[in-house]
């Protein structure tokens, strides 16, 4: 018979006698501070060699999750700690809650823990600033890396921009010295002009197939970092086409270093109403370049100027002081071609909505910025769900991270921040060389499985796999995050989720618990 | 690794830094001057309507709970850093703690609050694990005699005669996460804050909506139905030395308006603005919805007066519809200003400040969160994590 402890908080006015006859160890004085509480519980747990315990008292959810996490860290099974929240219950209610919890507790089975060796190498896909910073951080923590870059040269978009804005550190200089460090390092393998093909495996042991110039090769690693950057799309709704008098903001960087004779230039930002801060940043920096290099008159037209980033507001003021003129529009300006010029017609609400007519030699259009590699993400089942509780670089899949421009609109300092965080997270994950996970918290009962593969489709963490030999689904314990989605939706009820198995819940309900 | 770190400030940035440092086996002293950790964000309301609006307010209780459970984080509330000496890799720090209310004895039963005639003992935020004494309201701190709370406390947690404690620590690194101050709206005299009760700040609206379920924000039965949000109060303002955008106020204002409307569908809202900042994950959708639901007027009032109906006056904005603008509640979207004790901390830690007054780090002393400039909750948390990762890489790093 399993040994159970009942921990009753002071002030809950529960009669320990109601537990008489149960196979339990009862303790009543518990410290109010969560941390001391945990120490005390764990102490009793190990001293009496308990198999499980029930904590009775005022246990808001906040405390519950924390307790379970501490148990996990102490090597005890958090799912065998059953909490009974008695707030707002009368005497009868309290008694019922406690009996119900005991009933459920009795159905809990122990979970086994497994240690698995983890690969130390980290597979980084994309050699822009984000990928490079991740690599530098990981190297300092002693982990070897592979960088897969589709282009011949590393460095990404920042190497292609002209006249960057004044960060504490010059991004292009930074990239050069980062590359120098990495290229000298024998534990860094750089695969350029290479594309990833397929990814298999799970946290601790991924296998990546790469199409390299020398043919297909594979690399193994314990974690994967997607640092794919962003792409741009021409805003069709603008009604403008690229041509001699119309260019995209990203193309402009190729032109600004050359001396050109456009007398009057307009930046048309925010075309779809959702322009990005990178567009404003780029426009401000290019506007100043154009003033310097071409001596042109420059107008910037937008709906909302995006100034919510460190140097933007002061760059905006600087541009104004330098004579750049800003217009606001609500309705997209009407463009007509007119003898080697483009005429823009619009109403500025700040100017009493009078119609402004201006003819420009060059229109620079803000493109839409999109995360790159959505195809890869889809193929590998990697996404960054809109969940504020995920740490910034985490994804739905354990051991796969997303950094830089492929996860959000990000400037250089943001990219460096992301790379550093990812290196820290991966260092903590793989640094010990072993992964510890619960062996069979969630398990498919092969004989009940009808092979409908609902779980394979539903699992948000790609942990449900297909076992062709047994013709049944199989839950990969290393990838499983015990969210319970599969167990809830399996039509054959073939998935056994240990903390929440049906019998335990039925027993609890029978006793009148919540 | 047997390293230790001092984290100053228990807001999202300090919590993020503390958790990640402790996760790497570093002993962390998390020093918080107030009676509870969480920072400003712990007072904000969940802005979910039918769905989560991703405001991140709920991140904070989760992180508070995680640091409380972490065996390597020692949380020191009511504590201040009074002296720092030494160099990167070896700092000697002197801490001072006010021990009038001993948080390790307090079990938050609330009897002190019942006993206090001034309501000067309270929970700083909904996640506080112990009560705190608000020195501005408590009679003892203005020289009067009173010990009603101390006598009511069953555990002896409150004792006005208990001396403060002062002690020294050695740490390898310091994280300054001292946060920010919401811009003081009184400085904008002409906007009527402090003079008209129905001119409130975004912070006050956050707190009010967090306290109540509906929209009876003053607790007197009156509900605002026609609300004006004034953007950029104390931001993008050269006169205030704040020629920066605070990044968070467009977002919280739009979300708060959405929440008001969700709780009371008859609520109308108008935004007076220069530029709305629409960037950030998930926000474009919120902005698009807001454009459908609310009115947007490009122009910031120069003056506000009136009584139950507030009149907005505009200078130099002559566009259509700006005459006779009236609303029954005005919310000033106050921005992020450097924390009041920034100068003091800069001196103590020998740190420089940027052109707007925010702290800049140096070797061995890292600056995280809004202490270093405007950021939202998740960005502050991420910044704290980055700080921790940088420090760990430095400590474990082969390149020293
Ligand atoms: C229009 C625009 C203007 C900008 N202006 C500025 C500015 O003025 N100042 C500033 O600081 N920032 C600016 N930025 C932001 C800056 O470009 C990004 O912060 C930075 O480039 C992001 O770095 P990254 O490493 O995430 O991505 P990137 O630099 O885009 O690098 C991604 C790398 O991954 C590679 N890659 C992609 N997919 C694959 C694949 N499947 N397999 C292998 N490799 C792959 C790419 O070839 C590339 O080398 C601007 C961005 C845009 C879009
Ligand atoms: C009105 C308003 C509404 C907002 N709404 C949102 C929102 O909905 N969502 C969002 O993401 N962001 C929002 N923000 C931004 C959010 O408040 C900040 O991003 C966040 O609080 C920053 O966290 P922090 O840790 O940097 O600083 P803070 O929250 O300021 O925390 C700093 C902590 O340090 C302590 N401290 C200060 N000095 C010392 C010292 N010398 N010694 C010891 N301790 C010290 C303070 O007591 C405090 O606990 C809003 C901001 C404002 C002004
Ligand atoms: S992110 Fe904000 S809106 Fe969403 S659940 Fe959390 S507190 Fe509520
Ligand atoms: S976020 Fe919006 S309200 Fe706040 S300063 Fe920036 S533009 Fe103004």
Enter the tokens of residue B176.
């300054």
**Percent of chain B, pLDDT > 90?**
79
Q: Are A16 and A45 in contact (CB under 8 A)?
A: no
Q: What is the pLDDT of residues B154-183, one digit of tens each?
A: 888 999 999 999 999 999 999 999 999 999
* Ligand closest to CA B246: 4
Nearest CA to A342 out of A325, A358, A324 is that of A358
B399–A417 C-beta distance less than 8 A = no
Residue to substitute from B374, B385, B398, interface A, most A β-carbons within 10 A: B385
Measure the CA angle with vertex A127, ends A121 and A130; round to 5°. 90
Question: Is B398 an interface residue toward A (CB < 8 Å)?
Answer: yes
Residue nearest to atom 8 of ligand 4 (CA): B232
Atom of ligand 2 nearest to the CA of B383: 26
Q: What is the pLDDT of residues B57-66, one digit of tens each?
A: 999 988 998 8
Q: What is the pLDDT of residues A36-52, one digit of tens each?
A: 777 777 787 777 777 77
Q: How far is the CA of B219 from the centre of ligand 4 (A)?
A: 29
Q: How far is the CA of B9 from the centre of ligand 2 (A)?
A: 9
- The pLDDT value recorded for residue A432 is 84
Provide the greatest CA pair distance for chain B.
67
Predicted confidence band at B396 (pLDDT cuts at 50, 70, 90)?
confident
Interface of B with A in 73-102 (CB under 8 A): none
Q: Which parts of chain A register pLDDT below 70?
A: 1-2, 9-35, 58-66, 87-89, 110-111, 499-514
A4 vs B144: which has the higher pLDDT? B144
Enter the tokens of residue A434.
């072993």
Predicted confidence band at B399 (pLDDT cuts at 50, 70, 90)?
very low
Q: Find tokens 């989605």 and name the residue.
A: A485
Q: Where are the beta strands (DSSP E) in A378-493?
A: 400-402, 434-438, 442-444, 464-467, 472-475
Dump the DSSP string for A36-94: HHHHHHHHHHHHTT-SEEEEEE---HHHHHHHHHHHHHTTS-GGGEEEEE-TT--HHHH
Cβ neighbours of B282 in A, within 8 Å: 386
B390–A392 C-beta distance less than 8 A = no
Atom of ligand 2 nearest to the CA of B14: 25
Residue nearest to atom 2 of ligand 3 (CA): B55
A55-59, A451-455, B2-6, B289-293: range with lowest mean pLDDT: A55-59
CA atoms within 13 A on the CB side of B248: 27
ipTM of the complex: 0.91
Nearest CA to B223 out of B194, B265, B258, B272 is that of B265
Mean pLDDT calculated for residue range B201-206:
98
Tell me which chain B residue has its CA closest to the CA of residue A141. B397
How many whole angstroms separate alpha carbon B42 and alpha carbon B44?
A: 6
Q: Where are the beta strands (DSSP E) in A143-229?
A: 145-148, 188-191, 195-202, 205-212, 215-221, 223-226
Interface of B with A in 228-247 (CB under 8 A): 236, 238, 243-247
Q: Which of A70, A137, A388 sits opposite B54 (nearest CB)?
A: A388
- Give phi and psi for B99, each to the nearest 5: -110, 20
B143/chain A closest Cα distance in angstroms: 32
Q: Are A495 and A444 in contact (CB under 8 A)?
A: yes
A309–B250 C-beta distance less than 8 A = no
A307–B236 C-beta distance less than 8 A = yes
Measure the CA angle with vertex B251, ends B366 and A236; round to 5°. 110
Mean pLDDT calculated for residue range B185-202:
96
Q: Find tokens 């942990």 and name the residue.
A: A463
- The pLDDT value recorded for residue B400 is 39
B278 ligand 4 Cβ < 6 A: no
CB pairs under 8 A between A and B: 161
Confidence check: pLDDT of B189 > 70? yes
How many whole angstroms separate alpha carbon A302 and alpha carbon B27?
A: 50
- The pLDDT value recorded for residue A501 is 59
Burial of A494 (0-12, 13-18, 19+ CB in 10 A): buried
Residue nearest to atom 6 of ligand 4 (CA): B245
Confidence check: pLDDT of B344 > 70? yes
Q: What is the pLDDT of residues B216-267, one digit of tens each?
A: 999 999 999 999 999 999 999 999 989 999 999 999 999 999 999 999 999 9
Question: Ligand 2: which residues within 6 Å by Cβ?
Answer: B 8-14, 31-34, 39-41, 44, 55-57, 80-81, 177-180, 182, 202-203, 206, 248, 252, 334, 336, 339, 341, 345, 369-371, 375-378, 380
Beta-carbon contacts of B334 under 8 Å, excluding residues fewer than 6 positions away, are B182, B183, B184, B185, B201, B202, B203, B233, B234, B249
Cβ neighbours of A432 in B, within 8 Å: none
Q: Are A482 and A438 in contact (CB under 8 A)?
A: yes
Cβ neighbours of B106 in A, within 8 Å: 32
B53 ligand 3 Cβ < 6 A: yes
Atom of ligand 4 nearest to the CA of B246: 5
How many whole angstroms separate alpha carbon B72 and alpha carbon B248?
A: 32
């Amino acid at each position: 018979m399993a040994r159970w402890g009942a921990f009753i908080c002071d002030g809950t006015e529960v009669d320990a006698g109601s537990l008489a006859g149960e196979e339990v160890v009862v303790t009543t004085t518990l410290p109010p501070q969560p941390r001391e509480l945990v120490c005390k519980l764990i102490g009793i747990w190990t001293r009496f060699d308990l198999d499980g315990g029930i904590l009775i008292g005022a246990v808001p959810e906040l405390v519950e999750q924390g307790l379970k996490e501490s148990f996990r860290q102490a090597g005890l099974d958090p799912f065998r700690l059953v909490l009974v929240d008695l707030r707002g219950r009368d005497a009868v209610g309290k008694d019922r809650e406690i009996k119900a919890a005991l009933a459920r507790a009795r159905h809990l089975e122990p979970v086994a823990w497994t240690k698995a060796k983890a690969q130390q190498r980290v597979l980084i896909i994309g050699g822009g600033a984000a990928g490079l910073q991740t690599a530098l951080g990981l190297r300092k923590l002693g982990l070897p890396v592979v960088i897969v870059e589709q282009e011949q040269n590393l460095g990404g978009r920042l190497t292609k921009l002209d006249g960057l804005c004044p960060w504490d550190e010059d991004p292009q200089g930074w990239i050069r010295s980062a590359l120098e460090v990495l290229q000298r390092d024998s534990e860094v393998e750089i695969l350029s002009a290479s594309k990833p093909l397929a990814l298999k495996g799970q946290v601790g042991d991924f296998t990546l197939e790469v199409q390299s110039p020398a043919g297909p090769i594979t690399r193994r690693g314990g974690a994967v970092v997607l640092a794919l950057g962003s792409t741009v799309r021409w805003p069709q709704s603008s009604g403008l086409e690229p041509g001699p008098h119309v260019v995209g903001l990203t193309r402009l960087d190729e032109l600004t270093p050359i001396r050109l004779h456009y007398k009057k230039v307009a930046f048309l930002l925010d075309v779809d109403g959702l322009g990005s801060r990178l567009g404003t940043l780029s426009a401000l920096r290019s506007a100043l370049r154009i003033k310097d290099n071409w001596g042109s008159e420059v107008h910037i037209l937008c709906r909302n100027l995006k100034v919510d980033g460190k140097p933007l507001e002061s760059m905006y003021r600087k541009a104004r002081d330098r004579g750049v003129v800003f217009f606001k529009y609500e309705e997209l300006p009407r463009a007509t071609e007119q003898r080697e010029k483009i005429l823009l017609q619009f109403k500025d609400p700040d100017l009493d909505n009078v119609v402004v007519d201006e003819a420009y030699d060059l229109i620079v259009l803000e493109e839409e910025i999109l995360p790159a590699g959505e195809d890869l993400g889809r193929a590998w089942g990697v996404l960054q769900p809109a969940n504020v509780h995920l740490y910034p670089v985490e994804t739905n899949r354990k051991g796969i991270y997303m950094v830089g421009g492929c996860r959000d609109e990000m400037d250089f300092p943001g990219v460096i921040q992301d790379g550093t965080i990812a290196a820290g997270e991966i260092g903590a994950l793989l640094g010990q060389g072993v992964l510890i996970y619960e062996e069979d918290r969630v398990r498919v009962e092969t004989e009940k499985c009808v092979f409908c593969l609902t779980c394979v489709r539903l699992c948000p963490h790609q942990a449900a796999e297909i076992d062709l030999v047994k013709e049944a689904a199989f839950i990969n314990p290393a990838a499983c995050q015990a969210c319970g989605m599969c167990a809830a939706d399996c039509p054959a009820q073939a998935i056994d989720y240990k903390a929440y198995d049906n019998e335990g819940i039925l027993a609890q309900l029978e006793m009148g618990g919540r | 690794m047997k390293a230790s770190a001092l984290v100053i400030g228990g807001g999202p940035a300090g919590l993020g830094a503390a958790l990640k440092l402790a996760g790497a086996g570093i002993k962390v002293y998390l020093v918080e001057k107030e009676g509870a950790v969480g920072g400003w964000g712990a007072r904000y309301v969940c802005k979910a309507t039918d769905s989560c609006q991703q405001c991140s307010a709920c991140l904070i209780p989760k992180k508070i709970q995680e640091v409380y459970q972490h065996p390597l984080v020692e949380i020191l509330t009511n504590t201040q850093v009074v002296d720092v000496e030494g160099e990167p890799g070896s700092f000697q720090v002197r801490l001072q703690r006010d021990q009038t209310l001993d948080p390790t004895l307090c079990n938050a039963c609330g009897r002190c609050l019942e006993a206090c005639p001034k309501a000067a003992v309270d929970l700083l935020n909904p996640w506080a694990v112990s009560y705190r004494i608000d020195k501005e309201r408590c009679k003892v701190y203005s020289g009067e005699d009173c010990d009603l709370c101390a006598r009511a406390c069953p555990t002896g947690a409150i004792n006005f005669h208990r001396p403060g404690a002062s002690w020294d620590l050695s740490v390898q690194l310091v994280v300054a996460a001292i946060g920010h101050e919401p811009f003081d709206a009184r400085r904008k005299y002409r906007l009527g804050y402090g003079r008209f009760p129905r001119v409130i700040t975004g912070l006050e609206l956050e707190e009010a909506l967090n306290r109540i379920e509906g929209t009876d924000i003053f607790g007197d039965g009156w509900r605002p139905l026609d609300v004006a949000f004034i953007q950029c109060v104390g931001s993008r303002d050269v006169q205030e030395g704040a020629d920066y955008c605070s990044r968070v106020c467009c977002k919280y204002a739009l979300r708060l308006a959405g929440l008001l409307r969700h709780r009371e569908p008859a609520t109308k809202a108008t935004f007076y603005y220069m530029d709305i900042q629409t960037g950030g994950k998930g926000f474009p959708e919120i902005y698009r919805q807001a454009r459908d639901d609310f009115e947007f007027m490009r122009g910031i009032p120069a003056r506000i007066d009136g009584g139950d109906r507030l009149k907005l006056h505009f200078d130099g904005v002559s566009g259509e519809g700006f005459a006779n603008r009236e609303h029954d509640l005005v919310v000033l979207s106050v921005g992020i200003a450097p924390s009041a004790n920034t100068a003091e901390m800069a001196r103590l830690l020998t740190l420089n400040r940027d052109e707007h007054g925010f702290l800049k780090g140096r070797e061995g002393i890292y600056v995280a969160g809004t202490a270093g400039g405007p950021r939202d909750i998740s960005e502050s948390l991420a910044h704290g994590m980055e700080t921790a990762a940088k420090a760990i890489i430095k400590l474990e790093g082969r390149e020293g």
